[in-house]
Chain A
Amino acid sequence: MNIRFHRQKKSKQDHIGVSRRMFLMTTAMAGVTTSAMLGSATRSLAAPLDAGQDATLLRMVQDIYPHPDLLEVSHYEGIAATVTTNTEADAATAKDLRDGLARIDAQADALFGMPYTEIEDPDAREGVLRKFQHDGFFQGVRWTAYFAIYNNVDVWPLFGYQGSSVEHGGYIDRGFSDITFVPQGPTLEERMAAVKG
């Protein structure tokens, strides 16, 4: 992704506090076998974490796809919980996640002299994570978060995406051509005339 003319807004304070509703995530989706599309990283997740690592994982998930103005912290808690649940079956990779989270904290300590979760600047936290982005544990967390956010029908409305339309007769009577900041397209008569003769 090359960005031109990108005007980055200042981020608002991340949402904190109690969840308004339980995060509905289809765990089935998170395990979807899209490895062909999604590249080479192998999934490698771990067994239950200690409290400190729980916090690191939650912060990590928030920093991977930060949508503080759109998503509640509870959304991210749901994702972190899914990550941990997914690892329970697989002891071999459990260690991978624990080790990975430990390396994130070690990197934060080396650069900033504090645990990752205590770094205030979100760009600095992202910088810490970038070092690990090609690792299996990181991509496992990342794709779980991807499916839970961008492939989640409950989240779509927050991004203005309406999804499936066939059951509503399509968008033909539901705003497929409703914007007003550019001119209308040609009428049926004009379109008919254009293909005659």
Chain B
Amino acid sequence: MTVFEKTDDSVVVIIGSGAGGGTVANELAKKGIKSVVLEAGKRLDSSDMENDEWTMFQKISWLDKRYSAGGWHGSVNHPTLPAWIVKGYGGSTVHWAGVALRFKEFEFKTRSTYGAVEGANVEDWPVSLEEMTPWYEKAEMKMGVTGKTTGMPHLPWNNGFRVLAEGCRRTGRTDYNSGPMAINSVENDDRPACQQIGFCMQGCAIGAKWSTMVTELPRAEESGLCEIRTDAMALKIEHDASGKVTGVLYADAEGNQHLQKARVVCVAGNSIESPRLLLNSASEMFPDGLANSSGQVGKNYMCHTSTGIYAVMPEKVHMFRGTSVAGIVGDDVKHEPARGFNGGYYLEFLSLGLPFMGAFLEPGNTGWGRSFSRAMEQYDHMSGVWALGEDLAQEQNGVTLHGSEVDQHGLPVPIVAKTPHNNDHAMTAHMVESTSQIYESVGATDIYELPPYPASHNMGTNRMHADADKGVVNAYGQSHDIDNLFVSDGSQFTSSGACNPTLTIVALAIRQAEYIAQEMNAQNI
């Protein structure tokens, strides 16, 4: 495997090997550009993936100290686990479920569509769906997304989704299907077809599901142009007197510190660690943190307005058999102010295993007793959804640094604060009502509404904006303040949209790699 000198200042240093970082690394390699990926977690491969919820949670989750604050469920139910993120080779694409949806046009233009929303910091993206469409297509080809772009059929419908789909049909819905998913329905790209194993969110044991762990990272390494250092936690980004970034200080597994020199730095540590790193990199020249002249680093944290809803059906369903997210309902993805909220939402069939159902049906201290236990006994009769919709950015929702507590590297612990907007409450009520109607039409007897899970979609904390006063990065993820510093992950999002973020993260990363190559060739960076 290629090893670059730490003094080699011609490399692009990429922090994080997930959806954003892994994609940028492989795309740069394809263009002949050298990179070093610093990944805080350990090396993982498909053989590490076990069909067990808690075993995998322990094995791959980011469990460094973090706090939840603010008025959301997280403060009460998940006080030290605001978000559910992977720490390892592949980042959260190891346990993502594979839903690969595009933003709608209006979702890139939320300020123009919704107007100014009280209490929210709603803005337009500096890109449109039209501009993004070719990049979405490239992302869908790369990831093997089922649907028209690749010509791969959507996956077969499993029990749990068939119940949901029939409810959709009976209630007059039309937009429901078992895709688009970045899961092979047929052999593709040297990866096998899905065997309906289940446990997609514990990592696919056979590589049918796209992840940077099975595609981008090994391919980048094989190119000879990319070195991936695992157990390498980036601590601080350094810069010179002109303000250009020059390298990244990181700690290895033994806690020894090293400085990797860089020509360009791409930050892709997911939406909590990326702003944390920029804030921790404050210097005399940049006292508020790197790339933070707008004051927006760490602000506008979004994680989707969401809730889990499980219906008890008259017969057995065995929802855990097969793909974890086996179908998507899109009828409610529209902006219709008469509903009493801005933006739209998806309903995605989602199975949980018995252990996670026991932990999430009623999280916190109160999830026990007779009605809880009765619900658990109905487990094999359940079908359910994860409903997720547009989460309006609010400036006070975000990532800040703890005043006194530090982690194992001596860095201030991040505090993730979030308080829902009234929009969230109105949308959640609508989600529960429509899901209930769908399942009732197929004979549901009981319906359980779960509080949100620890955040799995994290966005917005280094937002994109055309105006350098209102955002951290431009339309290419390049920081407004420092030309050779990029943000390559979901923290770039200006708004959350209703859909799962990863396809958009990957599309932006492909586009960004092209821009970086162009700017490097032009000697602009």
Contacts and interface: CB of A to CB of B under 8 A. Distances in A.
Interface of A: 1-9, 11, 29, 32-41, 63-67, 69-70, 122-123, 126, 129-130, 133-134, 138-139, 142, 145-146, 149-151, 156, 159-167, 169-172, 174-179, 181-186, 188, 191-192, 194-197
B162 A34 contact: no
B370 A66 contact: yes
A133 B366 CA distance: 7
Contact of A195 (B57, B146, B316): B146
Interface stretch (B102-110, B196-204, B477-485): B196-204
A188 B315 contact: no
B120 interface: no
Q: How large is the interface on B (under 10, 10 to 19, 20 to 34, 35 or more residues)?
A: 35 or more
Contact of B354 (A65, A134, A161, A183): A161
Interface in B305-350: 313-318, 320-322
Contacts of A167: 51
A181 B380 CA distance: 15
A83 B515 CA distance: 59
B364 A182 contact: no
Given A165-B197, A174-B321, A5 B446 contact: yes
Given A3-B447, A29-B54, A179-B162, 15 more contacts: A6-B446, A7-B446, A37-B78, A63-B369, A65-B368, A66-B370, A130-B369, A145-B368, A149-B358, A166-B197, A177-B162, A181-B315, A182-B166, A182-B442, A188-B156
B316 A160 contact: yes
B157 interface: yes
26 contacts: A4-B447, A5-B446, A8-B370, A37-B78, A37-B454, A39-B363, A142-B368, A149-B358, A160-B316, A165-B321, A166-B49, A166-B197, A167-B51, A170-B194, A171-B158, A171-B321, A172-B195, A177-B157, A177-B159, A178-B159, A179-B163, A182-B162, A185-B165, A188-B153, A194-B153, A195-B153
Contacts of B52: 163-164
B154 A41 contact: no
Contacts of B166: 182-183
A31 B83 CA distance: 23
A172 B358 CA distance: 26
Interface string B1-39: 000000000000000000000000000000000000000
Interface stretch (B220-228, B272-280, B371-379): B371-379
Contacts of B475: none
B80 to A, nearest CB: 5
B119 interface: no
Contact of A35 (B57, B80, B178, B354): B80
Nearest to B178: A185
A84 B374 CA distance: 27
A107 B177 CA distance: 54
Nearest to B323: A176
Contact of A179 (B150, B316, B359): B316
Given A36-B81, A64-B369, A150 B354 contact: yes
Contacts of B363: 39
Given A133-B366, A171-B198, A160 B318 contact: yes
B365 A184 contact: no
- 8 smallest beta-carbon distances between A and B, as pairs: A185-B157, A160-B380, A170-B195, A150-B358, A164-B51, A176-B322, A191-B153, A170-B197
Contacts of A192: 153
A169 B194 CA distance: 10
Q: Is the interface of B mostly helix, strand, loop or mixed?
A: loop
A171 B371 contact: no
B197 A66 contact: no
A191 B376 contact: no
> A123, A163, A185 — which one has the most chain B CB atoms within 10 A of its CB?
A185
A146 B363 CA distance: 12
> B163, B165, B194, B321 — which one has the most chain A CB atoms within 10 A of its CB?
B321
Contacts of A188: 153, 156
A32 B52 CA distance: 14
B241 to A, nearest CB: 42
Nearest to A135: B365
B446 A4 contact: yes
A34 B57 contact: yes
Interface in B139-165: 146-148, 150-154, 156-159, 161-163, 165
A39 B364 CA distance: 6
Contact of A4 (B51, B355, B436): B436
A139 B368 CA distance: 10
Contacts of B80: 35-36, 40
Contacts of A35: 80
B76 to A, nearest CB: 8
B355 A151 contact: yes
B50 A1 contact: no
A4 B449 CA distance: 8
Nearest to A169: B195
Contacts of A175: 159, 318, 321
Nearest to B313: A181
A143 to B, nearest CB: 10
Contact of B154 (A33, A151, A161, A191): A191
A181 to B, nearest CB: 5
Contacts of B373: 65-67
B151 A196 contact: yes
A142 B363 CA distance: 12
B315 to A, nearest CB: 5
A121 B439 CA distance: 34
Nearest to B77: A39
Given A150-B355, A170-B197, A195 B58 contact: no
Contacts of A70: 377
Contact of A176 (B152, B159, B206): B159
A167 B51 CA distance: 9
B70 interface: no
Contacts of A178: 159, 318
A90 to B, nearest CB: 21
Interface in B374-412: 374-377, 379-380
Contacts of A8: 370-371, 374
Given A159-B354, A161-B354, A179 B197 contact: no
A43 to B, nearest CB: 13
Contacts of B197: 165-166, 170-171
